[in-house]
Chains A and B, each alone.
Chain A
Amino acid sequence: MELLDLSRFCMRLGDSCLIMAHRQSEMCSKGPFLEEDIAQTNLGLDLLGQAEALLIYAAELEGKGRTADDLVYKRPERGFYNFMLAEQPNTDFAFAVVRQYIMTLYLSRVYETLAKVDDETLSGIAAKAVKEIAYHQRHLGMWIKRLGEGTEESHERIQTAINELWMFVGELYEEDELDLKMQEAGYAISGEAMKAYLMANISSHLTEVTLSVPKSVYMTTGSKKGIHTEYLGYILAEMQYLQRAYPDAKW
């Protein structure tokens, strides 16, 4: 395994966790009630911790003298490799729920695989994360059910979120050269296996709570090459503002 490949792999995963953590931090004071407000931001906190550990490792493996902070604050939009799904905005509470629900299913499978690899650091991070994600999965699954089987309006709003976000799911199981190398080394499952796992879980869960899986087959792609939806730029504008205005500021 080339160190640079492993670094890129950790950066992709770390970026998705980081950007989701930022989205979840935006939920602070916007939850539907106090307890959920706390829950939503706690989801973000776990993801931020995972992002930090992954990006520290990515920076170390890269060996170019960059730190995790450099990666977070000094890369431009095209240098981020998070999934487009991770950056989708909290248009409605239902959007936040669906985005996190799908990403959490994905992450649980990714971390389960990584917890078994022969790499002390990465398997350690994953073994910890897999337990945190189990709680996310249960919490978000509860919301899918609650909104799906709730009122006519909650049902319609969560179905809308599913429909609108569906085109971003394809990225979670597409494969490029790096993915194939990681699969060969046993660090990732095949795109086909990931697709089957996601589809089986999502479709059985949604059907059970009166929701449906969209028929549309168009799936967008690009984040593995640093191509994003317009939303990432706005996240970075806010997240990186201080470091760009006052480079290397510390407190």
Chain B
Amino acid sequence: MSQAQEKELICQYLSEISDPEIPVINIVEMGMVRGVLFRESKLEILLSPTYSGCPAMDMIDHLVKEKLQSKGYDSVEITLVYKPAWTTDWMSDETKEKLRAYGIAPPVGKATSKKGLLNEDPVFCPQCGSKNTEIESMFGSTACKALYLCKDCLEPFDYFKCI
């Protein structure tokens, strides 16, 4: 197996790890895996934290090691990379659709614009699709989400903030 094929295989293993907070999305889809490097006897995985203080990071660290060890990689090192900063702009449309189907409104707009970052565009209710929604709290069940309320179906829901 060539190194490129092995890398691909490792990425496939990593894509079997779901985000501890959002089980329908895996860490590769989230854009957290920034590199797979072979270092002599070690395997180095570069991860980008979604939020500086994301408490799921430790858990992801353990899950990655556990997964790769079960595939025969005994020496795995995880390095956190901060640059470029992780952004919701890296989520594919397919990933966003998975979020929506799971009940989390996906980020609206681009984090690169101030307007998108502070989310001044309407957020659609993931349940009924209405745009008649309002923000309840800028911080929801996790730091990456805000709490919204749909004024049509009256369901509260999480919105994945643009960042």
Contact = CB atoms under 8 A, between A and B. Distances in A.
Interface of A: 21, 35-36, 38-39, 42-43, 45-50, 52-53, 120-121, 123-125, 127-129, 131-132, 134-135, 138-139
Nearest to A38: B139
A52 B111 CA distance: 24
A132 B54 CA distance: 12
Contacts of A129: 52
Given A128-B51, A131-B111, 9 more contacts: A38-B140, A43-B139, A50-B53, A127-B82, A127-B83, A128-B49, A135-B118, A135-B163, A139-B138
A138 B82 contact: no
A52 B81 contact: no
Given A125-B52, A128-B52, A134 B141 contact: no
B147 interface: yes
Q: Name which of B52, B118, B137 has the most chain A CB atoms within 10 A of its CB.
A: B52
Contact of B143 (A21, A36, A46, A134): A46
B72 interface: no
Contacts of A49: 49, 51-54
Contacts, number: 82
Q: How large is the interface on B (under 10, 10 to 19, 20 to 34, 35 or more residues)?
A: 20 to 34
A128 B86 contact: yes
A21 B138 CA distance: 18
B139 A131 contact: no
Interface of B: 49, 51-55, 81-86, 111, 114, 117-118, 136-143, 147, 161, 163
A36 B147 CA distance: 11
Contacts of A50: 52-53
A30 B81 CA distance: 35
Contacts of B139: 35, 38-39, 42-43, 135, 139
Nearest to B142: A42
A46 B53 contact: yes
